[in-house]
Amino acid sequence: MTALIRATDLSVSHGGDLPVLNHVDFLIRPGEIVTVVGPNGSGKSTLVRALLGHVALASGRVERAPGLRIGYVPQRVHIERAMPMTVRRFLSLPRRVGDAQAAAALERTGVPGLEARQITALSGGQFQRVLLARALLGDPQLLVLDEPTQGLDQPGIVAFYKLIEEVRAETGAAVLMVSHDLLVVMRASDRVVCLNGHVCCEGTPQAVSAAPAYRAMFGAESQGTLALYQHHHDHDHDHVAEGHRHGPACAHTH
Amino acid sequence: MLDDFLTRAALAGLGLVLATGALGSFVVWRRMAYFGDSTAHAAILGVALSFVFSLPIYLGTLAVAVAMALIVAHLTARGQSMDTVLGVLAHSALALGLVGVSFVPSLRVGLDAFLFGDILAVTRTDLAWIWAGAAAVLGLLIWRWQRLVTASVNEELAMAAGIDPARERLILSLALALVVAIAIRIVGALLISAMLIVPAAAARGFSATPERMAGSATLIGAVSVFGGLWASLWFDTPAGPSIVACAAMIYAATLVVCRR
């Protein structure tokens, strides 16, 4: 299968400082759910923006499949209260869509009938679902979600990831997520990339949650995910971390 | 019909609000109020230059306002803070303009007309400039409407849709420069921002979508023009400030009516 997006030897730096991303290789295939995890400042959002072509590269290259349709939900979308904006109008930005299409998208993401509401009057969970509905309107081959569950409570987070899996199953779209919610996201992903300026480790959630680099990076919280996967261990997976470049000492600071 | 100074004044005001309704909404959405103010102050330099080089006022102010928009875009792209760049440029240009004005004796007396406008003195030529400028601004905004609104909602979303937010920002700055140039005869350099912001702020209270807000702001601007001219005639008050005062009263009224 060919890749939707392939990044080779990607480096990005903001200004003259140390590079935010250092020789990162990344690849996402059709239909795959890939999650990028990593501590604050590890370059997760920068990686996403580089893959989308929003930032200049210091080195390396990013190849996107020709005509690739991407649905994007950025991190922390803030809409000024000064701007009146109904949900319906928002769904038509920048490409106008019909009423039936808009209603179907809202229905699909579990927030039917919100069309007339002001965006600024929505709850955090509703707003995330409206953003997802808007991203789905372009019939994307790839959904890119940057910290999509920020500000949601635990049940909200679980429900949101469940929705993402449903959408993937229905549309066959690949999903690239950046996340903090280790426990939940690990369960929902096909592949996890652990980032800290460079790729520390990557592979199936099971493999990554057992990787020493991952456990060193996330400490106590990683114990939870490890326990989770040990608990489910009677399935099969006994993989070793794939593409592990650095060994246990890779959580060092840069 | 155009022989009547009051008709000409009303037409000039209507031409202006045709542009300021929509553009003013963007100014409110994107918090560009200080930008508008700064461009307007810098326009005084344009007035001085027009007199020195015997150019039409509109050309001189337009040139200075456009130059200001381009310099601001360039400096902020190099990482300077927008606030600081605007403060430096606007006040330098205003100071230079006032120094320049002192070399033009005829202008020293008549500067008031450019600070506060003189809508009752607009000529047919003024009307042509004002309507051409307003039509250009409105046409530009309608042409790029979806892109401008998307970029104003969220720059990341805009970029993902292939829109360059920096370009849309520059387009709004240039539209603002054009509006400053046509408004300087009508409400003057000190009150241009008011015509952009006050009607849009009044329209916000009862608008559900960007389009309705832009439309309502235009309507409120038009009512203010008529109200201001009427007040000016009736109470013998200065016309430009009366128009702005009228818009401010509508804003106050919407605060009371739309309080929820």
Q: Are A119 and A80 in contact (CB under 8 A)?
A: no
What is the spatial distance between Cα A68 and Cα A52, in angstroms, rounded to a whole number? Answer: 11
Residue A153 is classified by DSSP as -
Q: What is the pLDDT of residue A222?
A: 63
What is the spatial distance between Cα B69 and Cα A138, in angstroms, rounded to a whole number? Answer: 35
Report the 10 Å Cβ neighbour count for A162: 13
CA distance to partner chain B, nearest, from residue A189 (Å)? 24
Q: Are B72 and B89 in contact (CB under 8 A)?
A: yes
Residue B212 in contact with partner chain A when CB distance is under 8 A: yes
Mean local confidence (pLDDT), A185-205 = 83
Residue A82 in contact with partner chain B when CB distance is under 8 A: yes
Q: Is residue A180 part of a domain?
A: no
Nearest to A82 among B157, B163, B204 (CB): B204
Q: What is the pLDDT of residue A81?
A: 87
Q: What is the pLDDT of residue A228?
A: 55
| Residues on chain A touching B212 (C-beta within 8 angstroms) | 84
Residue-averaged pLDDT of chain A:
81
Return the bridge partners of A118, or none: A86
What is the spatial distance between Cα B225 and Cα A196, in angstroms, rounded to a whole number? Answer: 60
Mean local confidence (pLDDT), A26-46 = 87
Residue A72 in contact with partner chain B when CB distance is under 8 A: yes
* Beta-carbon separation of A94 and B146 below 8 A: yes
Q: How far is CA A34 from CA A137, B102, B119, B186, in A?
A: 21, 68, 63, 59
Indicate if the pLDDT at residue B98 is higher than 50: yes
Res. B79 pLDDT band, cuts 50 70 90: confident
Handedness of CA B73, B74, B80, B86 (dihedral sign): negative
Containing B1, the helix (H) or strand (E) segment is none
Cβ-Cβ contacts under 8 Å between A and B: the total is 65
* Residue of higher predicted confidence among A17 and A218: A218
What is the spatial distance between Cα A239 and Cα B13, in angstroms, rounded to a whole number? Answer: 74
- N- to C-terminal Cα separation, chain A: 35
Indicate if the pLDDT at residue A233 is higher than 50: no
Q: Is residue A244 part of a domain?
A: no
At which residue do the structure tokens 């009752």 appear?
B120
Q: What is the pLDDT of residue B143?
A: 96
Q: What is the pLDDT of residue B2?
A: 67
Which range of residues forms the domain containing residue A97?
A: 71-139
What is the spatial distance between Cα A9 and Cα A7, in angstroms, rounded to a whole number? Answer: 7
Q: Is residue A92 part of a domain?
A: yes
**Burial readout A53-78 (b: 16 or more C-beta within 10 A, e: otherwise):** ebbebeebeeebeeeeebbbbbeebe
**Half-sphere exposure at residue A33, Cβ-oriented, CA atoms within 13 angstroms:** 20
Kindly report the pTM of this predicted structure.
0.86
Q: What is the pLDDT of residue A16?
A: 64
Joined together, the tokens standing for residue B213 give 């807000």
Hey, what amino acid is at A156?
G
Instruction: Please write the tens of the pLDDT for every residue from A203-229.
Output: 888 777 777 777 777 776 666 665 555
Q: Give the ranges where A57-211 is alpha helix by DSSP (H).
A: 87-91, 99-108, 124-136, 154-171, 182-188, 205-210
Q: Is residue A134 part of a domain?
A: yes
Indicate if the pLDDT at residue A106 is higher than 90: yes
> Which B residues in the span 16-35 are in contact with A, Cβ-Cβ below 8 Å?
28-31
Q: What is the pLDDT of residue B1?
A: 62
Q: Is residue A90 part of a domain?
A: yes
Q: Are B39 and B153 in contact (CB under 8 A)?
A: no
* Residue of higher predicted confidence among A159 and B197: B197
Q: Is residue A106 part of a domain?
A: yes
| DSSP states along B128-155 | HHHHHHHHHHHHHHHHTHHHHHHHHH-H
Joined together, the tokens standing for residue B29 give 């959405």
Q: Is residue B192 helix, strand or coil?
A: helix
Indicate if the pLDDT at residue A167 is higher than 80: yes
Q: Which of A218, A82, A157 is nearest to B207 (CA)?
A: A82
* Beta-carbon separation of A85 and B209 below 8 A: yes
Nearest to A74 among B28, B157, B207 (CB): B157
Order the strands of the A59-64 sheet from edge to edge: A21-28, A5-12, A59-64
Q: How many structural domains are present in chain A?
A: 1
Containing A140, the helix (H) or strand (E) segment is none
Residue B78 in contact with partner chain A when CB distance is under 8 A: no
* Beta-carbon separation of A77 and B156 below 8 A: yes
Mean local confidence (pLDDT), A178-194 = 80
Nearest to B157 among A77, A82, A84 (CB): A77
Res. A236 pLDDT band, cuts 50 70 90: very low
Q: What is the pLDDT of residue A41?
A: 79
**Burial readout B75-90 (b: 16 or more C-beta within 10 A, e: otherwise):** bbeeeeeeeebbeebb
List of residues 6+ apart from B244 with CB closer than 8 A: B187, B191, B194, B195, B198, B224, B228
Q: Is residue A15 helix, strand or coil?
A: coil
Q: Which of A155, A197, A177 is nearest to A39 (CA)?
A: A197
Res. A232 pLDDT band, cuts 50 70 90: very low
Most confident by average pLDDT, A16-30, A150-164, B5-19: B5-19
Q: What is the pLDDT of residue A224?
A: 60
Domains of chain B as residue ranges with CATH: 5-190 (1.10.3470.10)
Instruction: Please write the tens of the pLDDT for every residue from B205-232.
Output: 889 999 999 999 999 999 999 999 999 9
Indicate if the pLDDT at residue B172 is higher than 70: yes
Residue-averaged pLDDT of chain B:
90
Task: Please calculate the CA angle B203-B208-B212 and round it to the nearest 5 degrees.
Answer: 55
